[in-house]
Structure 1
Amino acid sequence: MSRITVIGGTGYAGSAIVAEAAARGHQVTAFSRSAPDAPVQGVTYVQGDAADETALSEVVAGADVVVGALAPRGPLTGSYRDVYRTIGSLAAAQKAPLFIVGGFSSLRPAAGAPRFVTDLSHAPAEYHQEMITVAALVVDDLPATPETLDWVFVSPAGQFGSHSPGERRGEYRIGDDVAVQPDGGGAISGADYALGVVDLIEKGDRHRAHVNLAY
């Protein structure tokens, strides 16, 4: 079993990944600003600031896999990409693959087509900057990292989120950077997104890749 550190491990996606990985017997550390409402048995919870490089280095040290489940809001509004650059450097030094919880807008409706992020007229304006910031990770930042960083950017379906938690069905479909549900109306529950992420971790067959999960 692997030692998995989940940064942002008490948020919506992060907590689901923590629960799924722990249920499979992995040794899980969840790092976040807040303590969990319902701690998962056997998980080590560490409170700290993701913008604190020292705190990050302590939880990444010894990890076999690092998962980033952060959002570009609140304290990370202006530093989200910089924080991920730090996480990437620490993961590379540890020789641990980095799996990042992405967003739907970084996907394409068809092969070779512009990414959804190039036209956000379908989304409320208050979310545009967050979408642009998250997409920038896989459009600009991750491809520019040294080959020593093995990363997988995992975009969910368009309706993924705490506003639509859904139920565990024990299934999902996986695609590359072309959306499995290109109309944006697709969904996947937090539990099944986590199922897909931990499957990707265990299979270890995607490298420096953008994938997406949906029903």
Structure 2
Amino acid sequence: MAKLVVFGATGYAGGRIGAEALRRGHEVVGVARHAGSVPEGVEALQGSLHDEDFVAQVAKDADVIVVATPAREIEGRKLIDAVPALARIASENGVRLSFVGGAASLHVAEGGPRLFDTPEFPDEYKAEAGNHAEVLGLLREQPESLDWFYVSPAAEFGAWTPGERKGEFRIGGDVLLTDENGKSHIGGDDFAIAYVDEIEQAKHRRARFTVAY
């Protein structure tokens, strides 16, 4: 059994990862700005990943830190601003650091452009996509002592398209996965299954992978 500390535990991805981990018998600590909305069964803490003292405290007896928060600027701070301290604290405590990333930094084909560099990508999503890509880039620069993984969902992923739990999906690397109709999608529960599988099996150390049907 592992102990997970989930930042963004009330969000779409974080909530489902926490629920899947609980279902498998893991211990889950959910961190949110408003701890009262953390799902039942999860130990709730109010805090911020930008608070180094708080992060250090929760990391002491954790096995995995899950970061499932937006990458864009919130209250004057972006996710990437917290990464150096998160990486240092995780490394010092032997904690595996993991992130729910974005799909837009995936390449549309081997050797091709990233999704958010294509002309069709909507301008209104470019800032968030770019911020997620910067987080991934910074993780790749961290010393070998840091054990991390970063999961990019399919292009269609979110509360607006939750889908049904199938228990079947494909795993890829840095290239966007699409089905025979050119669609790239994954339901929240199946994304969470893949995420917790990685926590249990550790097949992608210091790497990004993607999940899609």
| TM-score normalised over the length of structure 1 | 0.91
On the 8 A contact 2:6/2:65 being kept in 1, the answer is: yes
In 2, Cα distance between equivalents of 1:170 and 1:86:
35
In 1, Cα distance between equivalents of 2:115 and 2:65:
27
State the one-letter code of the partner of 1:92. S
The alpha carbon displacement at 1:114 in A equals 2.5
Q: Could you say if the C-alpha distance between residues 190 and 126 of structure 1 is closer, same or farther in structure 2, counting changes exceeding 3 Å? A: same
- Does residue 145 of structure 1 match 2:112? no
In 2, Cα distance between equivalents of 1:77 and 1:147:
30
Q: Does 28-37 or 203-212 show the bigger shift?
A: 28-37
Structure 1 segments of 4 or more deviating over 6 A?
Answer: none
User: 1:135-187: per-residue Cα shift (whole Å, max 9, x none)?
Assistant: 1122x201111111111110000010122122211221100111222897311
Unaligned runs of 5+ in 1: none
On the 8 A contact 1:157/1:184 being kept in 2, the answer is: no
State the one-letter code of the partner of 2:123. A
Please list, as runs of the form range in 1=range in 2, the aligned pairs for 1:54-203 lying within 5 A after superposition: 54-73=53-72, 75=74, 78-119=77-118, 121-138=119-136, 140-181=137-178, 185-203=183-201
- The residue matched to 1:104 in structure 2 has which SS? coil
In 1, Cα distance between equivalents of 2:184 and 2:78:
30
In 1, Cα distance between equivalents of 2:122 and 2:106:
18
Unaligned runs of 5+ in 2: none
On the 8 A contact 1:159/1:184 being kept in 2, the answer is: no
Q: Does 201-210 or 71-80 show the bigger shift?
A: 71-80
In 1, Cα distance between equivalents of 2:77 and 2:177:
31
- The residue matched to 1:106 in structure 2 has which SS? coil
In 2, Cα distance between equivalents of 1:76 and 1:206:
33
- Does residue 34 of structure 1 match 2:31? no
* Corresponding residue pairs, total: 212
- The residue matched to 1:75 in structure 2 has which SS? coil
State the one-letter code of the partner of 1:6. V
Aligned residues: percent identity? Answer: 40
* Cα RMSD for the two superposed structures: 1.9
